[in-house]
Each structure stands twice: as C-alpha cells, then as structure tokens.
Amino acid sequence: MTIGSSYDYPAQKATSLKLTRALDRASEWSGRYPSPPDLSFNYRKLVSQTGGIATARDPNHKICIIGAGITGLTILRELNRCGFNNVHIYEARHQIGGRHDTITSINNNSNNCEYAPFEMGAMRMPFFNADDESPLDGESLLAYYASIFKLYTEEFPNPGTPWVKSTGIYLEEGLVDGGNNPKMLIWDNSNGNTPPPTNRIQDVFNKWKHFEKLMIDVVSVEYASSEWEDIWDAIVERYKDIPFRQFVQLEAIDQWDSSNPGDFGGLGLTEDESNIFYSIGFGDGSWGAFYDVCTLYPIRTAIFGFGSKLQLIPGRYNNDGSFNPGPYVDRTTVPDSGGAPFLSPKYRGIRSLDECMLFLPLENTQTSPYDLCLQPNKSNLHTSTKVRRVIKNHSGFTVHFDNVSRTELFDSVIVTVPSWLMEVEMRFENFSNNELPLDIVRAYKTAHWETSQKIYCPIDKSFFTDVNNRIPQILVTDSFVHDVYAYEYGIGDYKTPCILLSYTWEDDATKLASFSEDKVVKMCIDELDRILLRSSNIAQKISPYLDIHAAEVRRWITEPDSLGCAKLYRAGCYSAAMKLLEYNRKTSPISGLYLAGESFSVDAGWTEPCLRGAIDTVINICHNTHADFNGNFSMSDYPHYKV
C-alpha cells in the first residue's frame, strides 16, 4: 500500500501523548495506545514478571497442545515457566514455526551466508512502540520476547517509506498520469515527508490522511480510559456490517461528534479514486483484495498500530553485527521426544522467534522447553504427528493420532491450528452443546481463510549498486504481480539479496493457483520485464539480475497443514469471530478445551494476536487449575471480550 508512510502516525501520536500528559489508564493492568482495540490489557507486564504468569498448584495437570507454531510454542514455554511439567505438543509437519516460514537453505545452502533468507509467511512485524522508542521497548508481547531472545530488528522496506531508495507505481498500463507515453511513476520519499506523485494519487492520499488523523486523534486519547470500551462498542456497531468496498466511498465527515462516538465517516473517494486506492492502499500492500472484508479489519490494522513502524527480523544477532545463534545451530536435524528428526534451528529470519521460544533456556535455568521434552516422564514434543480425533470423556480427553492405534489421555486440550483443519482433518466427539456450542462450531467451520501467494528469488547485489539501473527498489502495480519488494538485509553479510517477485492475496492469488510453480515464476518475471520495458523512463529488464532457478513459491491455501494464509471475516460476521475469542474465558472451565491463535482472533495475519491468544490460554488454564497468580494479578483485573 504505497499511499503512505502516513501509517506511522499511530506511533507518532503515542509519542506526543507521552510528552503532553501522563498516560490515563483505567487500572494498573490497562494497556496503552497503540495496541489491539478489544482488550486494553498490558500482557507484557504480566508475562515479564519473575516466574511468569503464575505458580502451578497442579503441576502434573496433563495438557495437549495441537500445533507447534508460534502460538503453541509460546503456550508451552509459559506453562513450563509456571511449573506445569506434563505438557505435550504435537506438530503435523517435520518443522516448527507454522506460518513463520523462513527459508534459510536455498540450494542446500545450510547456515552459510550465500543467500539471504526468504520470508514465505509473515515478514513485517509491528511492535506497537511509540515513535521515540526502540521496537524492543514497545508495550507488546512481541517486543518482550524479541528483547529477551536478543532478536535484531531493522526497518522493513515498505513502499513509499524512507527505508527504500524509490518506489515505482505502475497503474493503468503506465498511463495513470495522463497522456500517451507510458511511464512508471517514481516516488522518492527519503526525507519521509514527500507526498506520492501526481495530483490524482495525492487526492487519494489526502482523503486517507484526513480519516486517519480524525480517528487516531480520538481513539489514542480514549484508549485505556474508563470510557474506552463504550467507544469501541460504538465503533463496532457503526462499521461491523459495512464492507470495505462501501466504506472507501462512504461520505467523509469533518469532525468527530462525541454524542455519536462510533461514527468517523468514510474516506469519501470517488469511483475513480477507489480504483486507485484498490492498488495502492495506505501502507503495506494492495488493499484491493480486501475490498469485500468487513471494514473493521482495515480500521483495526491501520488505526491501532498493526501497520506502524513495521520491522524486519533478521534473526539472532548482536548489535555489532555478529551472529549470535542458540543451541543446535550446527545440526541439520534434531530429534523429537520419540526420536523422529525435525529441522534444526537456524536463528535467522522471523522463524528465529519460534526457535528461541523452544530452544533457549527458561529464566535462571540452563533448561529449555526442548530440553524438558527430552527428559523422561516430563513434557513431550512430537513432530510429523497429526491429531485426528479429540474425544471428550468424564475424566478429560482421549486424543487419537494419525496412527489410529495410538491414543493418549489428557486433562486439557489446546487447539492452535487453522480452524478449517478442525473440520476436515480432525473430529471432536462427545462434546455437549454446553462444552462446544453450535455457534462456536459454526464460527470456525465457516470462517473465511484467505488465499495468498509469495514468490521469492535471489537477486544479484549489483541491482542495488549499478548506477545504470533505473528499476525502482519497490514496485506497486495493478498487474497480476501486484507488489514487488527487493531488499538487502542490513546484517548477516549475505552475498545475495532477495526479491519478493510477486505478493498477492485473495482473488489476485487465486487466479494464479492453477499454474505450476515453474510456470507462475516465469509468468511473473515475463510480466515484470514487460512492464519495465513499456515504461519509457525505465526501458530495461529485471530478469538479468535474477537467479530464477532458486525461486521459491508458497501458496498458503494449498498447504495441507494450513489451508490458508490468514483468517478474515466479511461484513456481518464480526460477532461470530468475537465468540471464538471469548470461548476460553466463558466455556473452557466446563469443557477443558482451549482455542488459541490467529484462528480465534480478529486480527488476521499478525503475530501479536497469536501471542495474546497464547497468553490468554495460559491465564485461563492457571485460573481453572487454581494456580497462584504473580504480581497481585487476579482474574478481576482481566477484562472480558464483548460479543
């Protein structure tokens, strides 16, 4: 979304609030802006206490975690910190990390620095920090874990930001600026204050800026106050039934009326301006693919910090640039609790967060969750193991795995996998309607999981140094390739940088799904060459810079253990998504079943909701097993989701 480096306004507003007044928090456990809007709660404060969230009174309570992505691994680590020592985690694949899918072994490259990592899943991370703070000082769970794991961060090269040399905008076959001479619009915003090129695009930019400032100036002040929940409820009521396509043309308003607190109007775009906004959006990729989702999703993303100060995580590095890996980095595979091999940690890229969660020691010990899983009569980690049936019985659960003759008995079960897998890959049996209500089953069965496709390729270093290269570093198009990102890691001494040749979502990704991987790579490169040659101010190909034979394609909707990239919701479906969020607090005390992760969130495609869902699960398990909370925290301090 090239429409703006403006998406850093939440972080800038947070800084100005700190400078002009003390933070007005309803309680000592309230969060601060920017943060997700539903629960104003300081999860970082709770988790960062010595000893973690609580001290278990029933350490042998036997817990099954389904899925070893970031949600499942966080739950494992935090339960271990609380003293639970009978936690068993099952992963269907032969690697951990889920959609934190960092490829670090191009052409069997292993651990050397020939090729920069490819981020095939999540790649740009919000830390919810104010403008005057380091990302690691943000009041978020991601900031906390990145800090204690010593993960290095750097600015992500989003379109139209000071972190890229230039952004190329190619719309309407190069004629968006009028005339008969096709060209690529070049946006150089190295000073952070340069508006996008052409009056047409600037008009769209200004209309977005008006809405953004109007809403942020209100919600940033009210967030965490005693009035915040009522204001957010009013916002939800106003926008929950409006698709984003309708919102962008909804009439704009000049100022907020406190007597009608949920209404901030729309963008007021004309149909022509809406077509432009479809391709260039407001910050981190085309929003056109999301035109049919509920307006609340882009509002949450843009206004509450999900698109602000976005960071790339190169991995575990010291500030002087030296690599700082953890245990087992010298191995190709490591054994799980049953001796089956799974991919060893590399501590590079975003998957390093998951690897640190499993392999780094717990505080004040030399023992990691992985070490505990290798000890007899303790926790267990099983990879390449699919859960097929979860059967509720009078004393807990019987869990069946892909080998139907193998079962385990558990006191509690935690599901962290994409929700569609709960219907097509697993069976949940013998649950009463009180334990697994029909509206919950309906919500996870009918959830909308979106298609997404990424194509990465190594790109020659000369792309960034060749003075005769006229190709912009970042491209945004209304062609089927859509968004293109070429970037170098600022750390790691990689000899070959990378390029995300094509990043597409929803229908834009689905239209490419039937082609073979080799075919779709060639199609995208040919299309980029065509666009660049057609642009009279560029007139050169990108293909000579590319190592096409090392390209990697990831289609998340066809990944059998994912069945989608992120869970979204359309207009009219927001309340169903919220019911999944409240399940742990409302129903897990009687069911013993817990739902955690992005599948049961309303903030699709981001890591922070996964972490918050993980900690929510640990809080509720501790409460339901009568653990002693630390830091004078009690459940009366923990706000409720409103449905």
Residue 582 pLDDT class (50, 70, 90 cuts): very high
- Residue 108 pLDDT exceeds 60: no
CA-CA distance, 386 to 560, in Å (whole number)?
A: 11
What's the count of helices (H) and strands (E) in the chain, helices before strands? 19, 26
Tell me the CA distances in angstroms from 634 to 84, 469, 638, one per residue in order: 19, 60, 7
Tell me the CA distances in angstroms from 187 to 143, 473, 504, 616, one per residue in order: 31, 11, 22, 43
- Residue 397 pLDDT exceeds 80: yes
**Where are the chain's structural domains?**
45-201+310-634
CA-CA distance, 399 to 64, in Å (whole number)?
A: 9
Whole-model pTM: value is 0.96
430 phi, psi to nearest 5 deg: 70, 20
- Residue 641 pLDDT exceeds 70: yes
Supply the pLDDT for residue 11.
Answer: 92
Tell me the CA distances in angstroms from 276 to 200, 250, 280, 509, 590, one per residue in order: 8, 16, 6, 19, 51
Altogether, the residues listed in the chain come to a count of 643
Residue 608 pLDDT class (50, 70, 90 cuts): very high
Supply the pLDDT for residue 278.
Answer: 84
Supply the pLDDT for residue 21.
Answer: 55
Type of residue found at 69? G
Closest CA to 580 of 469, 390, 341, 415: 415
What lies within 8 Å, CB to CB, of 238 at 6+ separation is: 262, 263, 264
Supply the pLDDT for residue 193.
Answer: 83
Structure tokens at 472: 């912009």
For β-strands 396-401 and 118-119, DSSP reports them as unpaired
Supply the pLDDT for residue 473.
Answer: 97
Whether residue 431 contacts residue 591, with contact meaning beta carbons closer than 8 Å, is answered with yes
Supply the pLDDT for residue 449.
Answer: 92
What mean pLDDT is predicted for residues 216-241? 94
Whether residue 400 contacts residue 406, with contact meaning beta carbons closer than 8 Å, is answered with yes
Closest CA to 174 of 487, 567, 474, 532: 532
Percentage of the chain lying above the pLDDT 70 cut: 96
- Residue 524 pLDDT exceeds 50: yes
493 vs 6 pLDDT, higher one: 493
Three-class secondary structure of residue 8 per DSSP: helix
- Residue 302 pLDDT exceeds 70: yes
111 phi, psi to nearest 5 deg: -100, 5
Supply the pLDDT for residue 111.
Answer: 62
- Residue 6 pLDDT exceeds 50: no
Type of residue found at 394? H
CA-CA distance, 512 to 501, in Å (whole number)?
A: 14
Residue 642 pLDDT class (50, 70, 90 cuts): confident
Class of domain 45-201+310-634: alpha beta
CA-CA distance, 494 to 312, in Å (whole number)?
A: 15
CA-CA distance, 296 to 574, in Å (whole number)?
A: 8
DSSP classification of residue 124: -
CA-CA distance, 73 to 65, in Å (whole number)?
A: 9
H or E element that contains 476:
strand 474-477
483 phi, psi to nearest 5 deg: -110, 135
Q: Rounded mean pLDDT of the chain? A: 92
24 vs 341 pLDDT, higher one: 341
- Residue 643 pLDDT exceeds 90: no
Closest CA to 569 of 452, 453, 446: 446
360 vs 202 pLDDT, higher one: 360
CA-CA distance, 436 to 429, in Å (whole number)?
A: 10
CA-CA distance, 415 to 593, in Å (whole number)?
A: 8
Residue 2 pLDDT class (50, 70, 90 cuts): very low
pLDDT tens, residue by residue, 115-174: 999 999 999 999 999 999 999 999 999 999 999 999 999 999 988 888 999 999 999 999
